[in-house]
Structure 1
């Protein structure tokens, strides 16, 4: 049929696909010649997924992948500084650009680019012509510049979020319809593309002005009528710049293109062409998948392996949940055990009734020994899918008794000669430990990914499967549902559970084959083997031990906090001269900004006042009302988050709170505590410190706290070569007083608490890249004074500035930073522009310091079980630089001596610091006393 009504044109933003693929996947090179191909691999997977997903009545009839042409466009002729801020493409990405064009053609998809024009212009031209012809158009991109095209038969699809963007989506983004997007962009400018716009006017203000005056030309003609003086003068002074900006952001939708829509018709790929290209790229897995899709045999890929060994692992057949085995009896299970014994490793996963390892029940176990060969052993599935009054608790057919299964599997799971592979193995280890099985040794695919790719993406199985295997796993929500109607896994029909659970084990094994060999090439084998994997059993034991919490103490604190909050309310009513809802940000804002006339207020989209903590912190230096609101909110948070909520976390059988630590949560290697979070209990306020009184030692024992003294400052002194700081630490000086003396020329014997407090804030603030604005807020002093302190700090300790500059330069060159122990923290946003740039640089500066401190305490924790094995002591908690133990009261001194020795020597022999690590120890009947 002729192109027009009934046709559906898909226009793919190819350049966006390339960069998404490049940043989503770790570096990958072709084995035969070392050619970078990581972005090409991701790009090909995206094209294949695009083809697979687009079937049915809504499928495209015509497709084109559109690319930016290298070099300048016509916009540079009208404004030479256009895109001048953009950094050059990464060196290893450049040779992949032409390969992505080759890939597009290999898939038999029309590939378009045009010299002097950008991909957006080509997309605009094709979209408008197709819309005029009566065809429907879908633009696959999230690029905001393309939103000016939406409307009529044209819509956008954000492929990352699988979210369609129509007129309403554009209005939500820009505050105007698609026909006025160009006007808003002309005013707001674009820092990424270096479109100047009107200085100081953002998207919201621009939309407000355009909606008020109708269009940009009318606005500029009537700029003198604008009431706000600054806004009025900005528009009057920058008329020409704004008009140029409009020309820059407006897409050319009428290009001269010698192209017929017949050339864009969607066609099946030529099997030989496509498979040959994929084989030449050495994409084994994708070649096999495509060959199967085309009903052909995959061509053989023969590559001489490098001396260090290959990284692809075994051939991996397509993931097919329908082929997994349901193990129903001991004969079938014994056959799997024989295969495990013959193989020497097994991927393993548990299914349970919940996420709390201390309370969840075991429902089933899945195993995999080869890619594509997996099984599920159901143990406790019920016949009913509901757990209400009408649901049945009878067990479904085809399940083995739990005790029989554990009796058969326990020798295998505890066999030191058989490696157990899992994704987040700490969870499974804790579940099995409650059933008397001590699973070891282990490998963890989540931690392998974390060791290689911290800072690039999260390390959950769904993410890893999508990135490395090109496969989206069965969603747990599709089985359990969501919200109030959600069920637990024991209510899932066994037939569905087999597909889901066995697929988890299969994917885990495939990820292990993929990720394990890459540890060596990424140079993080030591990090994984010494800092990640051995921490799993240590944390599992700590979490299962838990810490005793006194419910009565918490209850009394909650009551006391409630009374104090009532006092704050009365004080606020008096200051305001009326009663109001203290918990309402809008009402607090009305008093601060409408009634009191203070500046700095922010409004929500609905027009109400917003009073976040940063705004109140700024205002607290000017007015007692803001300071008291802050005090009220902080107390309210302590009450709701800790004294009330902690009572619900006390285990009914142990009387203890069992937090869970995330090993791969923070990019720097710091552990994160959740359910409940015991690492963020405030210590600066008296009320915050009091919460620790509820964490108590059982009768006959004591809690001891051992805390690294200023470890991050010591690491900074070492890496930055600050001789004055190093000597002060060696001499045991008060480091904050010494810093104050150096900065403010105050003799040590004349030091005041206020001067020392300021130096302490600067010492710790500099590590985190604090700005003058941030320091002013912390110290509640004028910003100019705070900036003066920071400037003076760098003058006195120039090595710190050099360290910062060198670290940022390294991050820009390598897109990562490293700790002293070789941990890699990737910095993909280090070249970002605009507000995010400062954050990215501060994170890069801090990461080697905080990461090294995290590595040191990890090393200490890993060594601790052996060190205290014969002592009456248990390691309970890790809170940043602090470890908390429960110790028999007669062994306190001995345990402190042993633990201090381990902690103070944890860096050696890998790293020899220029100055000693010092650990402070405290003892008490509760955590507050010990700390």
Structure 2
């Protein structure tokens, strides 16, 4: 078994603590060219650069909180529940701050189910166990319980070390008893209950006298003060729960190994690329001066001429139809990628820029059955490309689209040349999974599911459809065609324009490359433009929290739900369908007997004739077609008046609907490979905010 590399000094930086210090420490309003706020990013970057410069640690990592819900919420549901959500203009900066960390070649680590403090405690204990000195850069009092031996804390703002003596000064006990003191005193900031009426000072005195929390609770009846004695007796369980809450896990099954924290040399070009994207000119100047490296000239900056940077807002909804200064959309700048070296140029450009609009072209709307035909990309406004991967028809096939003069288009591509499928996927996978490159899509849930089937875990992402839904709700539909017309004053190329309609419609793999390029690349280009227009409005209209903490994370959840599918008991449904069929047949016989004749019960016209002409029932009203109305309300009124045949027809209709819509249809919808039903959950359909379901409707 290979031996672990020796560690001399490990620096663990509490990234979450730094974020809030940076945000509240810099009051000036700072934004990138695309409107994204950056004040916290700026402050964080400054602080981290200084720490990196000042330390000689050979191992280094920044640890973040990933989500609010952790194992502690299972112990005590009210844990941290009273904390307000982060400010709207801070939420978009969280991912950029992680990107800043990676731009300095420093690992940015977080983990579901655990707090940053648990990860820090675990890594600190691992490193100390291997003989390394550990410095935890934080002022979080919860981390003081791990101080001692090889582990110390460091307050970067005050430039002071925190050791056992400083811990005793704060808590009145040594680090080994901090947990017991916190369990008694509680912590209002985290909603840790503790014991009522006992603060840090009293808790420390009790722990010093009785040894630990168990000792205090064991001798609670010996406490002289009546109120304190009663509280300790009655709230003993709360104290024990509090001890669980404040105890840091030092055995987290970490996903990132300690060895990966080995310090790496900074890449000035990579760092400068990031800093320029944020428009941090003063930091750029310092880095260039210090390293002698200039910002790479090939790095494309966010478009200063984008509509997002020029549009002015006179109110929350003024941008919905703001079309001033919208960059015209033309076909000339779209590129067909069929060579590996060209694709690598696009990958490098997207990586340097840190964002990429992406769209998949397939053979089906069903993501579980669709074959991937091609992928379109857009890095900046007006710059788009299409990578054909699975086209099957010759490129010389006649285009369905006419040229601007109304004439038949001539193909630019004389042969069906495409990227080798496996090679393209291998090249694209690192880009599409790169945590430092934001992927922007329109209904990106579909693309996530399609690409997952080819081994690509698309992340991180934004969705212009969901952005529009959050900002504009029920004002209009949120399809790309509608949004392009509303926000960009551009009529998009429709699918029917390149694939036809009705019986003559073809799947995308049979669309000529000329048409495929213009259709697909335009989709990616439009998506990028819509993002530039919509994303900055989240801050202005105070919708960041809703989008960043609910709607955007929900995209991934729904994608996983759709991929997993819903288990259906096919045998039960088939048996139920047989039962329904028998009951329908019995009802049909009974209805015909009551009517005195056979007729088509499913025909409203025949039913109306039977009810109102032949049986003479009251309330018959004819519509414009001359047929009687036989809707549910008519039949229910007749049933309430005591007429039996209308009641039987209502029962027949209900059973017929259950059979056709559910017991028969669901069995046909079962995926043969998974044995499950894979519905599509609509996130941007209803005006009430609830999910919809279709194909099938569950």
- State TM-score, norm by structure 2: 0.50
Partner of 2:65: none
Describe the superposition over 1:521-552 as per-residue Cα deviations: whole angstroms up to 9, x where unpaired: 22222111122110011111111111222333
Q: Which residue of 2 aligns with 1:510?
A: 529
Match for residue 382 of structure 2 among 372, 392, 395: 372
CA distance in 1, matches of 2:417, 2:584: 58
For structure 2, the residue ranges without an aligned partner over 5 or more in a row are: 1-308, 398-413
* Map of 2:277 onto structure 1: none
CA separation of 1:534 and 1:420: change in aligned 2, threshold 3 A: same
How does 1:331-730 map onto structure 2 within 5 Å? 331-383=341-393, 397-622=416-641, 623-678=643-698
- Distance in structure 2 (CA, Å) of the matches to 1:585 and 1:302: 59
Counterpart of 2:72 in structure 1 is: none
The residue that corresponds to 2:40 in the other structure is: none
Q: 1:190-339 maps to which residues of 2 (within 5 A)?
A: 316-339=326-349
Instruction: Decide whether aligned partners of structure 1 residues 539 and 305 sit closer, same or farther in structure 2, where only a CA change above 3 A counts.
Output: closer
Q: Is the 8 A contact 1:313 1:513 kept in 2?
A: no
Q: 1:5-154 to 2 correspondence within 5 Å?
A: none
CA 1:305–1:577 in 2, change beyond 3 Å: closer, same or farther?
A: closer
The CA RMSD over aligned residues, in Å, is 2.8
CA contact (8 A) 1:316 1:371 kept: no
Aligned to 1:435, the other structure's residue is in SS state: coil
Q: Which residue of 1 aligns with 2:23?
A: none
Structure 1 pair 591–305 and aligned structure 2 pair: CA distance change class (3 A) = closer
CA contact (8 A) 2:396 2:415 kept: no
Specify the alignment match of 1:147 in structure 2. none
Bigger Cα displacement from structure 2, 542-551 vs 604-613? 604-613
| Matched residue, 2:299 | none
The alignment partner of 1:610 has SS state of coil
Q: 2:567·2:676 contact (CA, 8 Å) conserved in 1?
A: yes
Structure 2 CA distance for partners of 1:625 and 1:463, relative to 1, 3 Å: same
Q: 1:535 to 1:602 in 2, by over 3 A?
A: farther
Say if 1:314 and 1:513, in contact at 8 Å, map to a contact too.
Answer: no
Q: Secondary structure at the match of 1:364?
A: strand
- Counterparts of 1:463 and 1:649 in 2: how far apart (Å)? 31
C-alpha distance in structure 1 between counterparts of 2:315 and 2:475, whole Å: 29
Task: Rate the CA distance shift 1:565–1:304 in 2: closer, same or farther, 3 A.
Answer: closer
Shift of 1:386: 13
Distance 1:338 1:538, change over 3 A: same
For 1:481 and 1:360, locate their aligned partners in 2 and report how far apart those are by CA, in whole Å. 19
Note closer, same or farther for the CA distance 1:571–1:369 as it changes in structure 2 (3 Å cut): same
Distance 1:632 1:533 in 2: 44
Change (3 A) 1:638 1:342: same
Describe the SS at the equivalent of 1:400. Answer: coil
Measured in 1, the distance between the counterparts of 2:564 and 2:396 equals 33
Shift of 1:304: 9.1
Contact 2:323 2:489 in 1 (8 A): no
**How big is the shift at 1:578?**
1.6
Q: In the superposition, relative to structure 1, how do residues 536 and 396 fare at CA in structure 2: closer, same or farther (>3 Å)?
A: farther
Task: Render the CA deviation track for 1:427-484: whole Å, top value 9, x for unaligned.
Answer: 0000011111111111111111111111211111111111111111111012222222
* SS in structure 2 of the partner of residue 325 of structure 1: strand
- Consecutive aligned runs of 4 or more in structure 1 exceeding 4 Å deviation: 301-308, 310-316, 384-387
Aligned counterparts of 1:640 and 1:553: Cα–Cα separation in 2 = 15
Instruction: Give the 3 Å change call, closer, same or farther, for CA 384–613 of structure 1 in structure 2.
Output: farther
Q: 1:519 offset after TM fit, Å? A: 1.8
**1:455 aligns to what SS in structure 2?**
helix
Counterpart of 2:575 in 1: which secondary structure? helix
Mapped to 1, the partners of 2:559 and 2:338 lie a distance apart of 31
Shift of 1:617: 2.7
Whether the 8 Å contact between 1:381 and 1:396 is mirrored in structure 2 is: no
What is the aligned residue count?
Answer: 370
Distance 2:608 2:337 in 1: 63
- Residues 399/534 of structure 1: CA separation in 2 closer, same or farther (3 Å cut): same
- How far the C-alpha of 1:621 sits from its partner, in A, is 1.5
Deviation, structure 1 residue 306: 10
For the 8 Å contact 1:322–1:499, the answer to whether it is kept is no
1:618 CA drift (Å): 2.8
Please state whether the residue corresponding to 1:554 is helix, strand or coil.
Answer: helix
Distance in 2, matches of 1:639 and 1:435, equals: 37
Instruction: Point out where structure 1 has 5 or more consecutive residues left out of the alignment.
Output: 1-300, 388-394, 679-931
Q: Which has the higher contact order (CA 8 A, sep 6+)?
A: 2
SS at match of 1:368: strand
What pairs with 1:835-874 in structure 2 (closer than 5 Å)?
none
Q: 1:461 to 1:602 in 2, by over 3 A?
A: farther
User: Quick check: 620-629 or 547-556, which moved more?
Assistant: 547-556
Cα deviation digits, residues 846-884 of structure 1 (max 9, x gap): xxxxxxxxxxxxxxxxxxxxxxxxxxxxxxxxxxxxxxx
Please, what TM-score do these two structures have when normalized by structure 1? 0.38
- Describe the SS at the equivalent of 2:474: coil
Secondary structure of the corresponding residue to residue 321 of structure 1: coil
CA deviation after TM superposition for structure 1 residue 609, in Å: 2.2
8 Å Cα contact 1:551/1:647 also seen in 2: yes
371-380 or 590-599, larger mean C-alpha shift: 590-599
1:428, 1:418 → 2: CA distance? 16
The structural deviation recorded for 1:566 is 0.7
CA contact (8 A) 2:311 2:324 kept: no
Deviations 1:704-751 (A, max 9, x none): xxxxxxxxxxxxxxxxxxxxxxxxxxxxxxxxxxxxxxxxxxxxxxxx
Q: Deviations over 1:2-59 (max 9, x none)?
A: xxxxxxxxxxxxxxxxxxxxxxxxxxxxxxxxxxxxxxxxxxxxxxxxxxxxxxxxxx
How far apart, in 2, do the equivalents of 1:481 and 1:619 lie? 49
State the Cα distance separating 1:599 from its structure 2 match.
4.0
Q: Within 2, Cα distance between the matches of 1:499 and 1:524? A: 34
- Any idea what the Cα deviations from partners look like across 1:40-92, whole Å, max 9, x if unmatched? xxxxxxxxxxxxxxxxxxxxxxxxxxxxxxxxxxxxxxxxxxxxxxxxxxxxx
Summarize deviations over 1:341-363 as a string: whole Å, max 9, x none.
12111111000000000010000
Q: Is the 1:429–1:438 Cα contact (8 Å) retained in structure 2? A: yes
